[in-house]
Amino acid sequence: MTRNYSRLDQLIISIDTALRMSSGETVEAKRPNPATSVPEIVMDEVNRQHAAGLMRINHAGEICAQALYAGQAATARNPEVQAEMQQAADEEIDHLSWCKERLDELESRPSLLAPLWYAGSFAIGAAAGLAGDGWSLGFLKETENQVEAHLEGHIAKLPAEDERSRAILDQMKIDEAKHAQMAEDSGAFDLPRPVRRLMKLTAGAMKAVAYKL
């Protein structure tokens, strides 16, 4: 009974979190923002909008990360796996918070489709969790690997003078690699190539939309 209540609690908490994040509310980070000591450089309008588009994608990605981890934590069978999912989800809150702060500094806003990103990702995370812990961890590891590669690309695409965004993405990249390693150490299965490809295509569609919307 307790376990059921605990999962129901998790679901309620994650829906509450989703509503708050989707409305653009800033969530509190546990660690200091990596950009804190990096001086702000005033960018021209084109570069500012480009940087904002990239950081909106990263903010949307972190909303997806929240939903994926919440969906998986709600369905994971092994309590240890469940606890690890929760710990990683807590670290993703830092990323979400830092991206939101940067969007504010760039005088921009989160994706208007945030509730949709959250709902879709929660369903995918729950489905991965229901498939079993090995697959769920495999999905997590692949997600984190793809996010790490994506961040590498975004770090290169940022306007050269946007060192504040770059500092945030640098730290996120380190954390995502750590999450992938955690999943591997916990017994992640290797996902079939078509699944990995589908994940890339889905993420690509989300990125194309979130850059503007």
**Site residues, Fe ion (CB under 5 A):** 65, 92, 95, 144, 176, 179
CA dihedral 209, 113, 107, 150 (to 10 degrees): -50
Residue number, 162 or 176, with CB nearest to Fe ion = 176
> What minimum distance in Å lies between the beta carbon of 31 and Fe ion?
12
> What minimum distance in Å lies between the beta carbon of 2 and Fe ion?
29
> What minimum distance in Å lies between the beta carbon of 69 and Fe ion?
8
Q: How far apart are CA 196 and CA 58, in angstroms?
A: 20
Count of CB atoms situated within 10 Å of the CB of 39: 7
Residue number, 43 or 199, with CB nearest to Fe ion = 199
Residue number, 133 or 144, with CB nearest to Fe ion = 144
> What minimum distance in Å lies between the beta carbon of 65 and Fe ion?
5
Residue number, 49 or 202, with CB nearest to Fe ion = 202
